[in-house]
Amino acid sequence: MASSTTAAEVRRPSRARRPSRAPRPLRVRRHLPTSPWLFAAPGLVITGVFILYPFVSTLVNAFTDRRTLIPGKFVGLANFRELLHDDMFWIGLRNSTLYVLGVVPALVLLPLLLALLVQKNIPGITFFRSAFYTPVVASIVVVGLIWVWLLDERGLVNSLLETIGVGRVGFLSDQWLLLLSAMAVTVWRGLGYYMIIYLAALANVPRELHEAAMVDGAGAVRRFFTVTVPAVRSTMVLVGALSSVSAFKVFSEVYLMAGPDGGPAGEDTTLVMLVQRTGTGLTGRVGYASAISVVVFVVTVVLMLLVLRADRKEEA
Amino acid sequence: MSVAEKTRPVEHPVAARDPRIADEHGRRIRAWEVALRYLLLLAVLALTVGPFLWQLSTSLKGPHEDIFSSPPKFLPSEPTLHNYQRVADTIPVWDYAFNSLRVATANVVTNCVGSALAGYALARLRYRGRRIATLVFILAMLVPAESIIIAQFTTMRELGLNNTLIGVVLPACISAMNVLLMRNAFLNLPYEIEEAAFVDGANAWQRFLRIALPSVRGTLAVVAIFAFMGAWDDFLWPLIVLSDPSKFTLTIGLNYLHGTFANDERLVAAGTIIAVAPLIALFACLQRYFFRGVGEGAVKG
């Protein structure tokens, strides 16, 4: 390693890559030739051992019948064939997909409206901005448990519903209501985060655009669609990408609200919950859980590409 | 248009002259619109902060107070800290909080040191393989943690570190995203100052420590805050790697409390308040870094 680094030192500032800089006189290097690698080493080692090695190992394990305590052997596509006939896998895939479809539109649109609401500098607005961010700061476990209590059969929401005469709703006992409630919690927690992202984008919208539209007699709604949305479109795509990837990987909200077994008859299990349930513990089926993990990985990559492609198409 | 043209040089000309409220264009906002805005703001406020207050209120209600009443009672009639005492009697909540604190502190230190060093190497030092090193971090950032969590668990077992707090910290202790954040921060510094130090004979370590690092304190603070929050709030990974209740972190402890004493809402409420209070305090003190972190994180993420 040392010798190759020294070679690089001699080769030194590849000026071709920085054409804007004026040519500099050559000088002697005074630091030890290995120091760049020493600087990068801790990060590279951690990333290699705990991210890249597990990634490769997930890909390999997916084709074995490895268990937590048994090394396992190569089984070809058996795990993936089993997936096709595993009802729980399809339930997980369904729920994670529904989660994306339910959460993403809300998280692209609602924080934008919220950002517009807190954008104007009226007295006390910084307080409101900070307050709206509080749910982001709280741990997902805290948020989950707060909502479990709020949506409880005898909790606050049901008390209010009963007071106004609607009657009590079993938010946490019905399979679909449970999933919907978990989505609502995800949206609730994401509002403040994406609001801040949108605020930064809105600050860059030229005010001339709004003024021109106003002179042309465009109302607030019209200006929202003709000025604001086009101006922050790339941010909307970014929010869409971020929120869809994290929505597909949902675990904590559903785990806390539906319980470790995923609600009534496991019908609220998500894909990552299934990974956690199948692959951990002393009897964990590492091979099979890895196969599900591969599906999670592939879908998140596809989701990201889809969103980015939609962006490019619209731009064209 | 022409009016706007004239008023532009001053930030808020109307607001300055006139106590009435103006928007960012310096145009006065009509009273009903202001009222509507505040009404909406208060509604959202109730929605975002209300749940926390309800939890706080529940945690302060004594054993004889009806917490299920309809219509609901928002304020405890005789506030008591009794439930907090009961949490401590039920689970070793202060030990869990201490475990969380240790994990979060370790995560802050390793992330700040490791990502500053690696970021500096990627941004400033010239060596063969720098592009490959950068690519390694970019690829690592794109791998969703959830999709490799089982392999991380088996890796931890192979290292004999499962069921330890070190095992909780290690996988995210120098996150690729933080490395790239620091790299960008260093890239944005003007190179000339370091050039000068270089001419004066400062070696890479001195340039890093004396010149570059003090200039990226803002980004470092962002890394620190997000490392702290990430570790304090993390749930899935500690849930997988920790099996011994004496080593639980606060989030896993809360999940355990909820799983075992789900019917005791006052108890769970007190536990959640213990977990969330430090972070809200931290947020209240360091808001601008939180917001800055969202901006920088989003650009990268």
- Domain identity same for B224 and B166: yes
Closest CA to A257 of A100, A150, A154: A150
A198-207, B144-153, B232-241: the lowest-pLDDT one: A198-207
Same domain for B248 and B203: yes
Looking at residue A13, its pLDDT comes to 44
When divided into structural domains, chain B yields a total of: 2
Q: Is the peptide bond before B71 cis (omega within 30 degrees of 0)?
A: yes
Q: What are phi and psi of A271, to 5 degrees?
A: -60, -45
Based on the fold, state whether residues B196 and B279 are members of the same structural domain.
Answer: yes
Of A69-78, A160-169, B147-156, B257-266, where does the model show the most confidence?
B147-156
Note the pLDDT of residue B23: 57
Of A36, A51, A192, the CB nearest to B140: A51
Q: Please tell me the distance from the alpha carbon of residue B12 to that of residue B14, in angstroms, as a whole number.
A: 6
- Grade residue B13 by pLDDT with cuts at 50, 70 and 90: very low
b (16+ CB within 10 A) / e for A31-47 = bebebbbebbbbbbebb
pLDDT confidence bin for A316, thresholds 50/70/90: low
* Contact at CB, B72 and A7, closer than 8 angstroms: no
**A4, pLDDT greater than 80:** no
Tell me which chain A residues have a C-beta less than 8 angstroms from the C-beta of B2: none
Q: Inspect the interface and report whether the beta carbons of B1 and A212 lie closer than 8 Å.
A: yes
pLDDT average, residue stretch A92-109: 95
CB-CB under 8 Å, A212 with B203: no
**Mean pLDDT, residues B55-81:** 84
Mean pLDDT for all residues in chain B? 84
Please name the residue that has the structure tokens 């680094």.
Answer: A5
The reply to whether residue B48 touches residue A192, judged by beta carbons under 8 angstroms, is: yes
- For residue range A127-143, what is the model confidence (pLDDT) as tens digits? 999 999 999 989 899 99
Mark whether B161 and B257 lie in a shared domain: yes
Closest B-chain CA to A66: B154
- Per residue in B120-137, pLDDT tens? 999 988 888 888 999 999
- Helices B265-285 and B287-300 meet at what angle, rounded to 10? 90
Are residues B102 and B65 both part of a single domain? Answer: no
Residue ranges making up the domain that contains B71? 2-80
Q: What would the 3-class secondary structure string for chain B be? A: CHHHHHHCCCCCHHHHHCCCCECCCCCECCHHHHHHHHHHHHHHHHHHHHHHHHHHHHHHCCCCCCCCCCCCCCCCCCCCCHHHHHHHHHCCHHHHHHHHHHHHHHHHHHHHHHHHHHHHHHHCCCCCCHHHHHHHHHHHHHCCHHHCHHHHHHHHHHCCCCCCHHHHHHHHCCCHHHHHHHHHHHHCCCHHHHHHHHHCCCCHHHHHHHHHHHHCHHHHHHHHHHHHHHHHHCCHHHHHHCCCHHHCCHHHHHHHHHHHCCCCHHHHHHHHHHHHHHHHHHHHHCHHHHHHHHHHHHHHC
CB nearest to B148's CB, from A5, A44, A293: A293
Answer with the residue of higher pLDDT: A7 or B137. Answer: B137
pLDDT digits (tens, 9 = 90+) for A161-218: 888 888 888 888 889 999 999 999 999 999 999 999 998 888 888 888 888 888 888 8
CA distance B70 to chain A (A): 5
Q: What's residue B159's pLDDT?
A: 93
Question: B248: number of CA atoms within 13 Å, CB side?
Answer: 19
* B82 to B79, B90, B97, B267: CA distances (angstroms): 9, 12, 19, 9
Give the tens place of pLDDT for each residue, A147-175.
999 998 888 998 888 888 888 888 888 89
Q: Same domain, yes or no, for B101 and B187? A: yes
Give, rounded to a whole angstrom, the gap between the first and last alpha carbons of chain A.
Answer: 47
Question: In terms of domains, do B60 and B118 share one?
Answer: no
| Pair B46, B144 in one domain | no
Q: Judge if B16 and B147 occupy the same domain.
A: no
Which of A15, A121, A146, A188 to probe by mutation at the B interface, max B CB count within 10 Å? A146
CATH topology of domain A86-279: MetI-like fold (1.10.3720)
Q: What percent of chain B has pLDDT over 90?
A: 47
Mean pLDDT of A85-109: 94
Cross-chain residue pair B258–A163, CB shorter than 8 Å: no
CA distance A316 to chain B (A): 22
Tell me: the pLDDT tens digits for B211-232? Answer: 889 989 888 998 999 899 999 9
Using an 8 Å Cβ cutoff, are A213 and B4 in contact? Answer: no
Residue B201, pLDDT > 70, answer yes
pLDDT at res. A234 = 87
Alpha-carbon span B72 to B77, nearest angstrom: 12
* B171 contacts on A by Cβ (under 8 Å): 46, 50-51
**Residue in A132, A133, A149 to test binding to B, most B beta-carbons within 10 Å:** A149
What pLDDT was estimated at residue A36? 81
Residues of B in contact with A147 (CB under 8 A): 51
Same domain, B129 and B64: no
Same domain, B189 and B293: yes
Which phi and psi angles does B208 have, rounded to 5°?
A: -65, -50
Q: Do B99 and B35 fall into the same domain?
A: no
Contact B295 A196 (CB under 8 A): yes
Contacts A150 to B, Cβ<8 Å: 51, 54
Q: Which of B22, B54, B80 is the last residue of a domain?
A: B80
Q: Does A4 or B113 have the greater pLDDT score?
A: B113
Name the band, by pLDDT with cuts 50, 70 and 90, for residue B27: low
Domain boundary among B80, B103, B123: B80
Number of cross-chain residue pairs from A and B with Cβ atoms under 8 Å apart: 310
pTM, rounded to two decimals: 0.84
CATH number of the domain encompassing residue B166: 1.10.3720.10
Chain A residues lying within 8 Å of B68, measured CB to CB: 154-155, 159
Per residue in B38-53, pLDDT (tens digit) is: 999 999 999 999 999 9
Q: Name which of B49, B154, B275 is nearest A286 (Cβ-Cβ).
A: B154
